């Protein structure tokens, strides 16, 4: 990701400047945790900006995107269902976002709209925060030696698969209800990365390896108390397995409960939400995100 050249007005510079705006484009958006995360961060750095919810019906998407070029608009976050469909509406798309085929952050840079994907690096930062992987001299996270079992093959799984493959993972197993979708994602990853990628639709065929990371990128557990992985399959995994559920609301899913009952290390998706938000903040403002302020706001 390239950095913005202009630092947005801060406490340090004492600049007042005009009122700035940034917001979330999606439909629906009312449930989002992003304002809760971003507004305290903007306030803490003295940036005179408001983080707004921009519910956008499909027929208004183009107008909404072009409005991001207006003076005082820093950019936007993008959520369901537009992470893929905004790509052709932007002026420049970051290579990682282009590879994933999804943008969750737009930056207005001198009236040119730049698209990024901060979900993928946000996931790696979250895993590292939970003690998984190592930080390299260039700031990237290495997952060398780990096997990742990725549950799901939808939008979130796609970003996760590219992030995992780029981190030097030893092997990637994609497990999805629809085998065809898992196979398509595996084939896509295999085009750019050398790590072996396997696709499965039946969890009973999973072969546990040491140093495994299990990541739930399905929506199973979001609305019902069910797990995307049968407990007897999870029980076969080694004691050093780390279980990450991208779901953050509810904070304790059935999968996390199963993992914790088996004394496996486990965490929910709040850390990924935090890190993708911090990376987006840095792209809009070119200032380090006040991570602990954002974390505290999210946990409140």
Three-class HEC string of 175-235: ECCCHHHHHHHHHHHHHHCCCCEEEECCHHHCCCCCCEEEEECCCCCCCCCCCCCCHHHHC
Using the structure block, give the residue that is written with the tokens 């919810």: 53
Angle between helices 34-44 and 291-299 (to 10 degrees): 140
Q: Which position among 24, 156, 169, 213 is part of the footprint of ligand NDP (CB under 6 A)?
A: 156
Tokens of 209: 């390896």
Confirm if 35 and 24 have CB atoms less than 8 A apart. Answer: yes
Start-end of H helices in the chain = 34-44, 61-66, 95-100, 119-129, 155-166, 179-192, 231-234, 254-261, 270-285, 291-299
Nearer to ligand NDP, 255 or 264 (CB): 255
Residue 177 interacting with ligand NDP (CB under 6 A): yes
Residue 6 is labelled as binding a ligand: no
Nearer to ligand NDP, 8 or 183 (CB): 183
Q: How many CB atoms within 10 Å of residue 56?
A: 21
Give the torsion through C-alpha atoms of 252, 258, 260, 263, to 10 deg. Answer: -170
Residue 166 interacting with ligand NDP (CB under 6 A): no
Residue 159 is labelled as binding a ligand: no
Q: Which position among 67, 184, 222, 293 is part of the footprint of ligand NDP (CB under 6 A)?
A: 222
Active site annotation includes 83 = yes
Q: How far is the CB of 83 from ligand NDP (least distance, A)?
A: 8
Residue 253 interacting with ligand NDP (CB under 6 A): no
Cis peptide leading into 204, omega within 30 of 0? no
Task: Kindly identify the residues of this chain, within the stretch 69-128, that bind ligand NDP according to CB under 6 A.
Answer: 119
Nearer to ligand NDP, 80 or 235 (CB): 80
Nearer to ligand NDP, 23 or 269 (CB): 269
Region of 13-21, 23-31, 58-66, 150-158 interacting with ligand NDP (CB under 6 A)? 150-158
Residue 245 interacting with ligand NDP (CB under 6 A): no
Residue 218 interacting with ligand NDP (CB under 6 A): yes
Q: How many CB atoms within 10 Å of residue 167?
A: 25
Residue 26 interacting with ligand NDP (CB under 6 A): no
Residue 276 interacting with ligand NDP (CB under 6 A): yes
Residue 133 interacting with ligand NDP (CB under 6 A): no
Region of 2-10, 107-115, 216-224, 281-289 interacting with ligand NDP (CB under 6 A)? 216-224
Nearer to ligand NDP, 94 or 119 (CB): 119
Residue 27 is labelled as binding a ligand: no
d(CA 249, CA 9): 34
d(CA 297, CA 40): 7
Binding site residue list for shikimate: 32-34, 79, 104, 119, 248, 276
What are the residue numbers of the active site? 83
Binding site for ligand NDP (CB under 6 A): 119, 152-157, 176-178, 181, 217-220, 222, 246-248, 269, 272-273, 276
């Amino acid at each position: 990701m390239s950095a913005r050249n202009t630092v947005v007005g801060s406490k340090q510079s004492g600049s007042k400047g005009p009122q700035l705006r940034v917001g979330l484009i999606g439909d629906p958006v009312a449930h989002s945790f992003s304002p809760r995360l971003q507004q305290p961060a903007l306030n803490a750095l003295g940036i005179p900006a408001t983080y707004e919810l921009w519910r956008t019906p499909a027929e208004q998407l183009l107008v909404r995107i072009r409005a991001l070029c207006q003076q005082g608009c820093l950019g936007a976050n993008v959520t369901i269902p537009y992470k893929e469909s905004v790509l052709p509406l932007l002026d420049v798309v970051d290579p990682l976002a282009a590879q994933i085929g999804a943008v969750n952050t737009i930056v207005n840079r001198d009236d040119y709209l730049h698209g990024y994907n901060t979900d993928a690096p946000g996931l790696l930062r979250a895993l590292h925060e939970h003690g998984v992987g190592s930080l390299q001299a260039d700031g990237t996270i290495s997952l060398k030696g780990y096997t990742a079992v990725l549950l799901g093959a939808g939008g979130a799984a796609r970003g996760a698969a590219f992030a995992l493959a780029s981190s030097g993972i030893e092997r990637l197993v994609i497990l999805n209800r629809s085998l065809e979708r898992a196979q398509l994602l595996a084939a896509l990853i295999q085009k750019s990365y050398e790590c072996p990628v396997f696709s499965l639709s039946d969890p009973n065929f999973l072969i546990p390896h040491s140093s495994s990371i299990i990541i739930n990128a399905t929506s199973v557990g979001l609305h019902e108390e069910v797990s995307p992985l049968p407990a007897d399959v999870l029980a076969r995994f080694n004691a050093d397995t780390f279980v990450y559920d991208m779901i953050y609301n509810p904070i304790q899913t059935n999968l996390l409960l199963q993992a914790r009952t088996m004394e496996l290390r486990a965490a929910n998706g709040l850390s990924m939400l935090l890190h993708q938000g911090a990376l987006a903040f840095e792209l809009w403002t070119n200032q380090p995100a006040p991570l602990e302020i954002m974390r505290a706001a999210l946990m409140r």
